[in-house]
Structure 1
C-alpha cells in the first residue's frame, strides 16, 4: 500500500530581533499550512530572530567591539530561547492539537552564549534541539558551536524526521551520521536557497535516499530596521543597519526534493507556503541502488565514531567524588 505524506515549507520573512512577534507569525503561518493538510512543516534558518544579515553584508560590523554589533548581540541574547521556554507553549499546543511536526530555526541561549538552533516540535513530546555544529566565518563572531548531543531524529509512525542547518550539509561526516539514523524526511534549513544550497540539498537527498525540505527565508532591509525598533533598540545600531543593501536581502527559493535528487516543488522570492505530497515508498525503491549506510558503506574499510555526549565545558567536582556538568 502506497504511503503518502503531505509536507510544507513556510517561506516568509522573520521578524528580526523581536522573537515574541516572530513566534506569533510562525504560529499563524503554521496553522495555514495545517489547514492545507500538511503533516510536516519546515521554516528556514533563523526564522525566530532573523538571520544576522549585518555580519554578512557590512564589513565594519565584523570588527572587534563594534558598538552597533554589540547592541544587536545584546538584543538577541535578551530575546533568545532559554531552556523549556514558556513562549513555546502556543506553538507546542498547535502541534499537539493538529498532530503534526514542525521544524523551525532560531536563537537559543545557554548560560551566556548564543547558539543557532533548529527546534523540532512533535506531538506531546519534548522539543528536539539541534545546535549548529559548524558556523560560517561571520557567524563565529556571535555564536557558539553545538556538540554531538543534539544530533538526533524524530521517530514518527510514517518514518524518521531529521534536521541540519546550512553549512552542515557540506560536512561529509555529519551527513554520514544523519544517514545512519535512517531519515525518511530531512529538513535542510537555509537563510536562502541559492544555487550552492540547492546543490547541497539535492545531493543530500540523493546520497541519503530521503526527501529533503530545503527551507529558506526572505528578508528586506526595512523589515530588519522595523524589527530592531520593535525589539527596543536604543539607536546605537541604527546607523549600522542603514548600511544594509536596499530592498530584498534574502530571496527564498525554497524547494522540496525527492530521494532521487529531483526537485518536485520550488518557491520563488515572495512569501509562500510550498506544498508537496510525498510518496514515501520512493525511499525504499531508492535504497535498492544507493545505501550509503549499508550495502555501499564498506564497514570493513571505513568507521565513523560519533561522540554524542553533551559538552558543558565545565565539570564541577563535589565532595565524595561526584561530578556534574555545569547547567
Structure 2
C-alpha cells in the first residue's frame, strides 16, 4: 500500500548575521508548515545565520569584520538556539532538516541536522569539503556524514550545495537506498552570469540528482533582498558587489526528475509543498538503478570510508558526547 508524505522546501531570507532573529523566523516557518500539514520541512544551506556572501564579495583581508560577526552568530549544538528549534519541531510534531554554520571551538563547519518530530537529532553532518572561497572560513568533514537514515517517513539523506556535483558523493548516497533527499543551497546567482554558478546550472544539477538516484529531492534556497544586500556593504556604502537580486528557487523533484511544485518568484518568500508517494520510486529504479541492477561492480565500484575521524586519538576508551533527548521541562516555547 502506498503512503503519501507531505514535504516542503523553504525559500526565504535569513536575518543576516543575526542568529536570534533568524531562529525566531525559523520557528515561525516551522509553525506555518505544520499548520499546512507538512511532515518534513527543509531549510537552505547555512540558513543560520545566513550564507556568508562576503566570501565572494571582497578580498580576504577585507572580510575580517564580517568573519567576527559570523563566528559570533554561528550555532553550537548544545546552545539555546539549537535547543529552541528542537523544541519547536517536537511541539509541532514535524521533522526539520536544518542548515547552519556550526561552531565548535574556534572552527566553523557547514552543517546539517535532521531533527525528528519528537525533537531528537536523527542525523548530524558537515559538508565534506567547502567549495572554493568557503575554505577560508569553514573546516572540512569526514565520510561519516555521507549517511542515509531510516525514519518514519522513509530513508532520508542530505547534502549541501556543490556536494551534488561530486559523482562519488552522490553514488555513496544512492548506494544506501536513499528515498528522500535534502538539497540545501544558498541564494542562487550571486555571481551574476558566471555559468558554473548560474541558477540554471544549479537547478539542473539538483534535478539530475533526482534522476540518477531515483529519489525525491527537496531543494531549499535562500533569497536576498535589496535590504539584505546592504548588510554586506561595499566601500561606498552600496550593496555587496555580487548581489543580483532574489536568488530563490525552492522546489521538489520526483524520482523520475519531474517537477512536483509550482514556481515561486525568485524574490518571493514561501514554502514549496509537495505530496510524495514513495511507491513511485520502484518504477523509476526499474529503469535505472545505478547502485543496483544497473551497476557493474566487477568494473567500477566505490570505496567509502565512513568512519568518524578525530584530530586527537586518546588511548583510553571514551564515549563521544551525545545530544540529550529533550525533557518535558525543556519545552518552554509557547504556541
Please give the TM-score of this superposition, normalised by the length of structure 1.
0.87
Give 5+ residue unaligned stretches, structure 1: 229-236
Partner in structure 2 of residue 166 of structure 1: 161
CA distance in 1, matches of 2:235, 2:312: 39
Partner in structure 2 of residue 234 of structure 1: none
CA pair 313-241 structure 1, distance change in 2 beyond 3 A: farther
Are 1:254 and 2:253 counterparts? no
Pairwise CA distance, 1:85: 2.3
Are 1:109 and 2:107 counterparts? no
Partner in structure 2 of residue 264 of structure 1: 260
Task: Please give the secondary structure, in 1, of the residue aligned with 2:121.
Answer: coil
CA pair 89-83 structure 1, distance change in 2 beyond 3 A: closer
Partner in structure 2 of residue 200 of structure 1: 205
Pairwise CA distance, 1:89: 2.1
Contact (CA 8 Å) 1:62, 1:138: kept in 2 or not?
no
CA pair 93-323 structure 1, distance change in 2 beyond 3 A: closer
Where does 1:114-133 land on structure 2 (aligned, <5 Å)?
Answer: 114-124=108-118, 125-126=120-121, 128-133=123-128
Cα distance per residue 1:246-287 (max 9 Å; x no partner):
975441011110101111213221111111111221111111
Contact (CA 8 Å) 1:42, 1:213: kept in 2 or not?
yes
Give 5+ residue unaligned stretches, structure 2: 189-198, 322-335
Contact (CA 8 Å) 2:6, 2:275: kept in 1 or not?
yes
Contact (CA 8 Å) 1:210, 1:258: kept in 2 or not?
yes
Partner in structure 1 of residue 48 of structure 2: 48
CA distance in 2, matches of 1:113, 1:201: 29
Across the aligned residues of Structure 1 and Structure 2, the Cα RMSD in angstroms comes to 2.3
CA pair 313-284 structure 1, distance change in 2 beyond 3 A: same
Contact (CA 8 Å) 1:14, 1:50: kept in 2 or not?
yes
CA pair 138-37 structure 1, distance change in 2 beyond 3 A: same
CA distance in 1, matches of 2:53, 2:258: 30
Which segments of structure 1 move beyond 6 Å, counting only runs of 4 or more? 323-327
Please give the TM-score of this superposition, normalised by the length of structure 2.
0.85
